[in-house]
Structure 1
Amino acid sequence: MASGLLLAATVVAANTMTTRLGVVQIGFGLAAPAGVYAVGLLLVLRNVVQAALGSRGAWAVVFAGTGLSLATADANIVLASGAAFAFSETLALAGFALLERRWPALCLVVSAAAAAIADSMVFLFLAFGPPTLWTLLPGQLLGKTLGALAALLVLRVLGLAVRLAAGLVIRRAIGPAVSSVLGAVADALTAANARRRDDAR
């Protein structure tokens, strides 16, 4: 549930950033729509939601976020975003089904890469027009990649922090009980050894 809400919020953020900030420099002499960094997080969260709710659940969450974006973003940007998502997801599913039998080891990677490129091309074409498509495409793809890597790193660190915190809580909770049990066992062993020595005498 939480991942679904975060995914919908990320869709809204991506569309709103692109509307408000337009095209920005992302380094290496490349430019891309400002929402590209949020899109990197969106790609990661989409996979999380798909794993939890299935493909239909992910579609529902993304399109709910797309609808909410109409309150804060330009309608052209919002419609381009929704159309790009629908096209790329359809392409990913079709590519996966087509390649799964012949190249099962590569089908997921190839279909996902093709879908990511198609998503960027459709969005840029609809949102900014054909003249800027090829100018912005390299920056869009680089920004997506960097954003996704950053999101994965943050989620990995957060996951590690949660596991460490949980471990600390567990140790504090059961530590006294474990110490008590171990103490009782040690006392019992000591008493048993004392009885054996008495019997030996």
Structure 2
Amino acid sequence: MRAAPGDVVPPRTEAGLDDALRRASRGDEAGFVALYRDLQPRLLRYATALVGAEAEDVTAETWLQVARDLHGFQGDLDGFRGWVSTICRNRAMDWARTRTRHSAEPNAMDVLAEHPDTADAHGSAVEGMSTRWAMAQILALPQTEAEAVLLRAVIGLDATSAGKVLGKRPGAVRVAAHRGLKRLARVIRDDDWTGEGHV
């Protein structure tokens, strides 16, 4: 089925997203929408891990800032994802400082599961797990490990970009993500996870 004129069709490749980023930085609305559709589900998961039920507000504020400042962004697609993740983390920290700190509630898993990732980036430790169960296990990790796993495996950032978001060296991010994934692998092994009963 062909798209009607004016419809925004999300790019299916990284090259298509690179092109969308170039167009969006010049003010093209369709390019911006393509970037939003690619990143928002993963960004929402990350924000939910940081602020729980306020994630929608935090990501909305994030995208407002991105729309305002995108014309000045210099970098590639991975740099863009890192930049947006940094803005999201800063908005989440601002929210936490100005309001009573809310921890992610168990029903936050429902929010996370409603926003499936469009790419298979979870890696071997979380392959095959249901989204709800996987996110519950990630959120049970120590915060540094959880953020490293989310940025590397869910957002899809490399260690350097994730390090910039977290204010850590790439090696420290690799170690935190590795530890987190090892813990997840142990949980899977100890739980004898088969995919049944974890939906």
Q: Higher helix share goes to which structure? A: 1
What is the TM-score with the length of structure 2 in the denominator?
Answer: 0.26
The answer to which structure, 1 or 2, has the higher relative contact order (CA under 8 A, 6+ apart) is: 1
Q: Which has the larger radius of gyration?
A: 1
What is the TM-score with the length of structure 1 in the denominator?
Answer: 0.26
Q: Higher strand share goes to which structure? A: 1
